[in-house]
Each structure stands twice: as structure tokens, then as C-alpha cells.
Structure 1
Amino acid sequence: MITIKDIAKLAGVSPSTVSRVISNHPRISTKTSLKVKQIMKELNYHPNIIAKSLVSKTTHTLGIMLPRPAEELFQNYFFGELLRGIITHATRMNYELLLTTETSSDNELHAISRLVHGRRVDGILLLGSKRDDPIISFLEAEKFPFVLIGRSEAHPNAPMVDNDNVQTAYDATHHLIAQGHTRIGFVSGPPDITLSHDRMLGYQKALAQAGLDADSDWIVEGEFLQESGFRAMSLFMSLPDRPTAIVVIDDNVAFGVLRALAELHYLVPEDISVVSFNNIALSELASPPLSSIDIGTYQLGYTAVRVLLKILSGEPQLHNPVIIPHRLIVRESSLFSKPRPPSD
């Protein structure tokens, strides 16, 4: 079996230099690094990660707590883009990723406990938070490195990477008001999710500032799935006093909204205008193209890894939360300047 000592002897360097090359230590010159890596390649040498972890007491692995239910991960394009940002920076920094998901809150906590107490990862990324999240309480009590992609009301000092979700929903709602709408509904997410709460606040704030009412009949809560959008529109369009525009919590839910409206023979934006969030790649391919708030999904994932690695290296966290900027992408779904009154 080829060892580090063998590599060092052939390269004319010390074993510690070979170890630093394997770890991509910044003080090793490019010339030495290339020489050592070429010899490793010629000899088909691969470092023993387990042995290395025992010596360094690190795994060079980050854990990711996937959302529950797991179906959301595979049915919602948002998570694919978020993971793309996470994977890009983790790979660039030579970190592996360990993904875990569970079917209940108790199982989620147990899964995180196994990762922490088993020292299977160096840090954890949480892809969202409930308004009172026991996982964050556990990680803070264990003093285990983690970063939340989202916001925690109960744990304001937790390391967070997020958007200003009150402002994002305010901007989406204000856009509809500027288009002449006075009857604006909201298709929200689960009420125990901080994101849903914050976007509801932004929606209500924009209406209040414009002197408009937030009619409770025009607010529907659901999951981040197309079926939730479909059900919401079936309800909205059966009301005798229906909205002429809606803000939708997520593009994936908005696709369900558009599908329901098409089946019910309503026109977008002539009969009802739609604005959503995330600006996933399929938004501009929808029929009609979907107006959406671009929240920088890729950047959320990429930045969360960067923040977590800084925590692991002991660097001070200068800003918390780290806020990723957003922008409204206006497309055809919300550009009808004179909304038609509801039909009888």
C-alpha cells in the first residue's frame, strides 16, 4: 500500500508537506503542490479519509437537514437551486456533504443528535426554520457549529443567511397595488414556518399603507406544493367577492395557481394577476410568464456554506443575519394595467 512517506520520498519533500498538499494548505507553493499531486496521480494514491479524520478530529463533511416532508425537496425547484449553491462552494473548499431527512419533528431532532454526538460532520446547514425550532435549541445547547438558511424568531443570535422576507412580500404586493388592484389575496405556506409568517407581514403592511383591507377570505395557507395553489384558486374563484390579484408564497405553488385558473377558464392577467417568489428557471416559461421576486436562491446556499466554514475556522462573524438582496422580475402575469371587475 502506498503511503504518504512513499509520496514524500519520491517528491523530495517531507511527509508533513504532502499532508498539507492534500489539505490544500495555502502556504504550499503551486510548484510543490503540482509535483506532489502528479506523483499521487501516477501511483493512484488516495488519502485515507477515516485515518485523516482520527488525526485531525475533523471529518471535512457538512450535514444538511432537508425539509420535511421530503416530497417538497423533489417537487420544488427552489431546493434544487439552493443545493446547487451549497454544493458549488462546499466542493470548491473540498468538503463532502451528508444529507438527512426525516418524517416527523421528533425524528428530525433524533437525526441531528446522531450527527452531532457521532461526530459525523463538522457543521450543519438547516434549510429553513419553524417559528420555535427545537433543532436550533439543541444545536445551541451543544455549541455545535451550524448555519440557518432562514430566520429564527426564538433564536435571534443564531447564525443566519436570509432575505428580508417582509420586504420581499411588501414589494410584490405594492407592485400589484401600483397596477391598480385593490382586492389582493395571498396564498401562504404552513403557518408554523417563519418564512410564511414574514411574507404575510409584508403583504399586510403593503395593504395597510395603501388603505386596503386584508380580507381573511382572501388568505389561504398550505404547503409548498402545486396542489396547494390549485386548491387555493378553486376556493378563491368560487367566492362571490373574489380578489383580482394574488401574491403566492412560492413559484411552485404559483404553477398550481395557473393550472387551476386555466382549467376554470380564467385569463391571467386579464381576470386575475399573479406575483410569486423565487424566480426559478421555469417561471419565464410558464403560461403566461410569471412575475416573481428573485431572492438569489443560489447565493443563499453558496453564502450559507461560506459563513459556516468561517465559523469552523474560528473567524468572527461580523454581520448576522447575512441578508441576500432581492429584486422583482416583472412578466406578463401581472402586467394588465386595468383589472377587470369580478364577474357575477
Structure 2
Amino acid sequence: MSIRDLARHLDISIGTVSRALNGKADVNPETRERVLEAAKQLGYVPNQSGRSLRQGTTNTIGFMIESTIETVDNGGSFFMPVFEGVQSVFRRHHLDLVALLCGTDEDPASYLNRVVARRFVDGLIISATARSDPRIDFLLERKIPFVALGRSATKGDYPWIDLDFEGVASQAVQRLAGFGHRRIAIGTPASDINLGYLFLDGYRRALADHGIAFDPELVLPANGNEEGGYQVACALLAQNPMPTAIILVNENMAIGLYRRLHEAGIQPGRDIAVIGFRESTQSRFLSPTLTCFRISLRDLGIKLAEALLATLPAFASQYPREKVALIWPMELVPGESDGPMPSSAA
């Protein structure tokens, strides 16, 4: 069904139908209602390509995700609630959200360059920010509207929202130190993603605040999935003496960690304290229950969408431009996986 077919069906000029569909004030209200009702019944959908050429916009926002072990294993449980929050805002403005998946075999900066060159999005949300992220320089240089899910050391005036990785590490150390633990290990990302640096910085500062010396041997890099957690547990068991507590940067790591500890006859919460990162569906089914942190991912998505719209001139009246540099709060959810240091370790 084209606009020409719709006009012929209604016996109205194409121009009148077009103005009615676009909400122009010079169209009689009865005519507009008649056009909209017929379009709905007959399944008319505007030609987006033609409209984009005329208006110079696509009404589409891209959300760039890098395909890594973490996103493949954990992407659904993390990104889907974020997408829902983003789309709940965009839906009100008739904007579409598209996920842009950058494969493991492609450089993220090159992938983004190609996306921008094709001009099929009006703005971007980027994630998995690196310590030094050339994508940010690229987008700033070309004045492409964007918001970053994650901090970076790359300088510039751009909006970003990040999870409180430093705060989580700090609260975890404080909780464990309060239980008497001194040998506290930490499972960090094996990649160069910036969140790993933030997590480690928060851990080191919290140790210093509690008079605990930093031991690099207790920093255990691994992939943020079940296999990575299994490897972290192997590294724990190989140390003598074994650390009495472990903080994980990814909740899925706890599943593999539990498996390896169980094989060794070691029980979390009794023989070693374990604190995970984010409360997830999987973590709720661990036994003993995992001490971790709760976050509203849908609300995070809503804030990302609003921050992005504030960078688009078409929405300036509804979303005034503001400096968004927000660390998203996370709430401790006590479980049974941590507690006082075992008397045998003391």
C-alpha cells in the first residue's frame, strides 16, 4: 500500500493525505481522522527511505555493542532490560532503536566509522568503553550526537552514564574487612575495558582505607563468564595460603567459581567469602545465595535515551542540553555467600 493507493482509495489528493499523515494544521480534523483510520485499516506504512531523504533524518538510533565472551554469555540478561528502557522513551517520539553488533574480528573504531559513513542513524549509544577510546574522538570530531554507556579517560565534552564499579569494589572490601578478612582477592576483566581499571582502583583505595596492603598476586584477571569464574577458583586454590575472600567483577563468574570450589570440597560462605557484582536471574539460583548488588537496568536505559535525545536539535525543547556525567547507583543485596573469616584461616 503506497500513499498513492491510499489517496486513490479515499478519493483525496496525495498532498492532502501526506499533510494529514504528518499532522499539518491546514488539514480539516474530519479529513485527518478519515485518513488516519484508513491508513490503519489498510496497513499503510510510510516509505522511510524517501522520508529520510526529504527530512535529512532517519528517526533511528543505533546502540553499539561489541561481541565479546561477556556479551555473548551475558548480553541478554544485561542489555535486554537496558534496550527496553531506551525504547520506552524512543517509542513516544516515533524513533526506532537498532542494535549494532561489532564482531570480535573487527576493530570497534573501524566498525563505527562504517556505520557513520552509511548515515542510517541519527545518533548513537556506545558501550564497552576502553581506557583510551578512539570512537569518542571520532564522534566528537564529526559532531555526531552520542552518549556513552561507560566512562573513559578520553577527554571531551560528551554525555556518559556508568555503573558504580568503584563503589561496588569499595563496599565489598568494607563489608569483608568488617568480617575480619585480610587476604581479599579480586576477579577482574581480562580485557582492556575501562571498567576493569575502575573496579581495581576502587579495590585498592578501599584496602588502603582499612590498612590492608595491596598484593598483586590477589588480582586474578579472567573472562567475565562461567569459565572465567572456574579459572579464578583454580587460581585461588593454587595459592598458599588461600585467600579467605573473593570479589568478582561479573556475576556469571560466580557460577564457575562455585563449581570449582564444590569440586574441591570448599563451600562459599563457610570456607571462603564470595561477593558477586550484579544481581541476576542466574545468581538467584546459586546455593548459598550470592551476596551482590542490585541495579535497575530499565531505568538506566531510560536515562541513556533521555541523555541522547538532549543532544539532538529536534528535541531541544523537550530535553534541554545538560552535562550528563552520571555514576549509576547500585544497592548491596546481602546473601549467604560471605561472612566472617573461617577460624581455621585465622
TM-score by length of 1: 0.87
Alpha-carbon distance, 1:258 to partner: 1.5
The 1:259/1:78 distance shift into structure 2, 3 A limit, reads farther
Q: Distance in 1 between matches of 2:30 and 2:303?
A: 31
Amino acid at match of 1:339: P
Q: Distance in 1 between matches of 2:138 and 2:209?
A: 40
Does residue 16 of structure 1 match 2:19? Answer: yes
The 1:155/1:254 distance shift into structure 2, 3 A limit, reads farther
Alpha-carbon distance, 1:31 to partner: 9.6
Q: Deviations over 1:253-292 (max 9, x none)?
A: 2222112211221011111111111211222211221111
Alpha-carbon distance, 1:178 to partner: 1.9
Instruction: Say if 1:275 and 1:333, in contact at 8 Å, map to a contact too.
Output: yes
Q: Distance in 1 between matches of 2:61 and 2:218?
A: 42
Q: What pairs up with 1:102-113 in 2 under 5 angstroms?
A: 102-103=102-103, 107-113=107-113
Amino acid at match of 2:226: Q
- Deviation >6 Å, runs of 4+: 30-34
Instruction: List runs of 5+ in structure 1 lacking aligned partners.
Output: none
Q: Distance in 2 between matches of 1:34 and 1:172?
A: 59
Give the share of equivalent positions with the same residue, in percent.
28
SS in 2 for 1:332: coil
SS in 1 for 2:305: helix
Deviates more, 1:283-292 or 1:87-96: 87-96
SS in 1 for 2:99: strand
Name the structure 1 match of 2:234.
234
Name the structure 1 match of 2:36.
37
Alpha-carbon distance, 1:197 to partner: 0.7
Q: Deviations over 1:223-259 (max 9, x none)?
A: 2222111111101112112211111001012222112
Name the structure 1 match of 2:280.
280
Deviates more, 1:37-46 or 1:246-255: 37-46
Alpha-carbon distance, 1:299 to partner: 2.4
The 1:341/1:142 distance shift into structure 2, 3 A limit, reads farther
Does residue 339 of structure 1 match 2:342? Answer: yes
SS in 1 for 2:161: strand
The 1:32/1:101 distance shift into structure 2, 3 A limit, reads same
Amino acid at match of 1:238: A
Q: Distance in 1 between matches of 2:212 and 2:161?
A: 32
Q: Distance in 1 between matches of 2:36 and 2:273?
A: 58
Alpha-carbon distance, 1:189 to partner: 0.9
Q: Distance in 1 between matches of 2:169 and 2:337?
A: 16
Instruction: Say if 2:159 and 2:323, in contact at 8 Å, map to a contact too.
Output: no
Name the structure 1 match of 2:300.
300
Q: Deviations over 1:110-146 (max 9, x none)?
A: 2211221221111111122000011111111111011
Alpha-carbon distance, 1:92 to partner: 4.4
Name the structure 2 match of 1:254.
254
The 1:255/1:88 distance shift into structure 2, 3 A limit, reads farther
Q: What pairs up with 1:50-61 in 2 under 5 angstroms?
A: 50-61=49-60
Does residue 243 of structure 1 match 2:243? Answer: yes
Deviates more, 1:96-105 or 1:153-162: 96-105
Q: Distance in 2 between matches of 1:57 and 1:92?
A: 20
Instruction: Say if 1:8 and 1:18, in contact at 8 Å, map to a contact too.
Output: no
Alpha-carbon distance, 1:295 to partner: 3.4
The 1:342/1:324 distance shift into structure 2, 3 A limit, reads same
Amino acid at match of 1:110: S
Amino acid at match of 2:47: N
Instruction: Say if 1:181 and 1:339, in contact at 8 Å, map to a contact too.
Output: no
Name the structure 1 match of 2:119.
119
Instruction: Say if 2:58 and 2:121, in contact at 8 Å, map to a contact too.
Output: yes
Amino acid at match of 2:71: L
TM-score by length of 2: 0.87
SS in 2 for 1:124: strand
Alpha-carbon distance, 1:47 to partner: 1.1
Name the structure 2 match of 1:90.
90
Q: Deviations over 1:59-102 (max 9, x none)?
A: 11111211242x43231132343333334433444322332333
Name the structure 2 match of 1:81.
81
Q: Distance in 2 between matches of 1:44 and 1:331?
A: 52
Cα RMSD over matched residues? Answer: 2.9
Does residue 168 of structure 1 match 2:168? Answer: yes
Instruction: Say if 2:244 and 2:341, in contact at 8 Å, map to a contact too.
Output: no
Name the structure 1 match of 2:204.
204
The 1:212/1:32 distance shift into structure 2, 3 A limit, reads farther
Instruction: List runs of 5+ in structure 2 lacking aligned partners.
Output: none
Amino acid at match of 1:73: T
Name the structure 2 match of 1:325.
329
SS in 2 for 1:276: strand
Deviates more, 1:51-60 or 1:319-328: 319-328
Name the structure 2 match of 1:264.
264
